[in-house]
Amino acid sequence: MAYLLGVTLFALAILISVSLHEAGHLLTAKAFGMKVTRYFVGFGPTLWSFRRGETEYGLKGIPLGGFCKIVGMTPQDDDVDPADQPRAMWRFPVWKRTIVMSAGSIAHFALALIALWIIAISAGLPNPNFPSTLAQVREEPAVIQLASCVVPENEARACTDADPASPAAQGELRDGDQITAVNGTSVASYGDLLVALRAQQPGQPAQVEYLRDDQPGSTTVTLGQTQRPPLDDPEGTVGPVAALGVGLIPSTPARIEYGPIGAIGGTAEFTGTMAVNTYEAMKRIPQKVPALWTAITGGERDVDTPISVVGASRIGGEAVENDAWLLFFMLFVSLNFFIGVFNLLPLLPLDGGHIAIAWFERARSWVYTRLRRPDPGRVDYLKLMPVTYAVILIGGAFTLLTITADVVNPITLFTR
């Protein structure tokens, strides 16, 4: 039930985001005097609508988006009433059209920034100095956090009653103890601890020296056994190794909490990081297509492959099911930021394509004026239709591919 609730909530959050995207177009267009005839949430048959002034507002039967009809978006629109010609969008200055067309993405960015600010003052934002790579983890001091058990397999999962207890817990080690030696081998970092444990035999006793509140101590434990690849070859052959049943407590916190004012700077800094990550993720999309096909045809799903709104909603459901609300809201932030950036790409039929054409027309007119040549006028959108159809076809195929992968082989972050 919690899973279905999470899926529904996340899908509803996406629908609200898209509705606000279209509301951005609506409000800015009306503010500049353009005529907006329709604003609907959803597609397909109309379930309910009402008219206020010259605009019809309503709800349609397929809740997969929304639309806002602005009169005369291009000079080639043939459904503009002669009386509405002065208010056709294409007749307005380029800066006004730019604001209207970018207002949808601005709505997504605003949602992401507001949500980030709330997260910053409530739960904290990810710490950029938190060790995230294997090399960084190994350089950390060997300050331990006890595990509940030793998982015999080479996988990350929750403990079960069948798993052996943590040797460290049985040896009365505590969270926050810093390991300094194992069987006489000095340990200066977490990497040293891993090396020292690999030199031991599973099932054998080991003397562990530690610091607790700056006071030295020692205990003898019987090491457990798990499966791991070689330390110098994470992709190598997995084999049995000795296990102490501990994890690392990093020297820096995973998240940084802010006050209301400090959260503004923290949000801005994190947004910059998110912008770089979004750019890198978009560059990797073409090379991830084969991995999506592999996932559909029975192979393992790469967690770094793109997801659709279906996949995002499923992960949102998992987050709610496991009481991971922070993940739920961070996913909401990331998705809104990605949609905002993607929608500004200079490709038709995206908003960024219309913006690019508007500024191309303006630049071309300026150049022709300086050359004392007649203004070539507006771009003929009809001549761009083959390119537009190609973008729609490629985008549609990619969307279908991601949705299929998310249905038949979804990314799962939690063990259900």
> Region 204-208: what's the mean pLDDT?
93
Q: What pLDDT does residue 232 have?
A: 84
Q: How confident is the model at residue 415 (pLDDT cuts 50, 70, 90)?
A: low
Mean pLDDT confidence for 302-308: 86
Residue 253 has pLDDT above 70, yes or no: yes
Tell whether the model's pLDDT for residue 203 goes beyond 60: yes
211 belongs to a structural domain = yes
Phi-psi region of 65 (alpha: psi -120 to 50; beta: other; left: phi over 0): left
N-terminal to C-terminal alpha carbon distance within the chain: 13
What's the pLDDT at 89? 94
In a domain, 166, yes or no: yes
- The confidence score (pLDDT) of residue 133 equals 79
Averaged pLDDT of the chain:
91
> Per this entry, what is the length of the chain?
416
Asked if residue 84 is part of any domain, the answer here is: no
> Residue 174: CB partners within 8 Å, gap ≥ 6?
146, 212
What is the average per-residue pLDDT within 45-68?
90
pLDDT at 231: 86
At residue 219, the 3 state secondary structure works out as strand
Q: Please say whether the beta carbons of 231 and 195 come within 8 A.
A: yes
Q: Which has the closest alpha carbon to 408: 314, 291, 296?
A: 296
The dihedrals phi and psi of 140, each to the nearest 5 degrees, come to -70, 150
Question: In the structure, how many helices (H) and strands (E) does the chain have?
Answer: 10, 12
Q: For residues 119 and 333, is the Cβ–Cβ distance under 8 A?
A: yes
Q: How sure is the predictor about 416, in pLDDT bands with cuts at 50, 70 and 90?
A: low
CA distance 256 to 353: 38
Residue 127 has pLDDT above 90, yes or no: no
Residue 208 lies in a domain: yes
In Å, how far are 34, 142, 252, 275 from 180, measured between CA atoms? 72, 8, 19, 41
Q: Would you call 22 a catalytic residue per the annotation? A: yes
Q: 2-32 and 94-122 are packed helices; what angle lies between their axes, rounded to 10 degrees?
A: 150
**Distance set, CA 132 to CA 137, 253, 325 (Å):** 7, 12, 21
Q: What sign has the CA pseudo-torsion 316, 322, 324, 327?
A: negative
pTM: 0.83
**Cα–Cα distance for residue pair 404/410, rounded to 1 Å:** 9
List, for residues 269-294, the tens digit of each pLDDT value: 999 988 988 888 888 888 888 888 98
Reported as half-sphere exposure (CB side, CA atoms, 13 A), residue 8 has a value of 5
* 277-294 core/surface letters (b: 16 or more CB in 10 A; e: else): ebeeeeeeeeebeebbeb
214 CB burial (10 A radius; 0-12, 13-18, 19+): exposed
Per-residue pLDDT of 149-170, as tens digits, reads 998 888 877 788 888 999 999 9
pLDDT tens track for 57-101 = 999 988 878 899 999 998 888 888 888 899 999 999 999 999 999
Local structure of residue 184 (DSSP, 8 states): T
CB 89 within 8 A of CB 70: yes
What's the domain count of the chain?
A: 1
Q: Is the pLDDT of residue 364 over 90?
A: yes
Is 327 a domain residue?
no
Within 10 A of 160 (CB to CB), how many other CB atoms are there?
9
Region label for 267, one of left (φ > 0), alpha (ψ between -120 and 50) or beta (otherwise):
alpha
User: Domain for residue 391, yes or no?
Assistant: no
pLDDT at 414 over 80: no
For residue 241, give the CATH number of its domain: 2.30.42.10
Domain membership flag for residue 121:
no
Asked, for residue 302, whether it belongs to a domain, the answer is: no
Q: For a pLDDT cut of 90, what percent of the chain falls above it?
A: 62
> What confidence score (pLDDT) does residue 132 get?
76
Which pLDDT value is given to residue 201? 92
- For the segment 365-377, the average pLDDT, to the nearest whole number, is 89
Q: Which of 22, 209, 318, 361 is catalytic?
A: 22
Beta partners for residue 241, in sequence order: 226
Supply the range of the domain harboring residue 185. 134-248
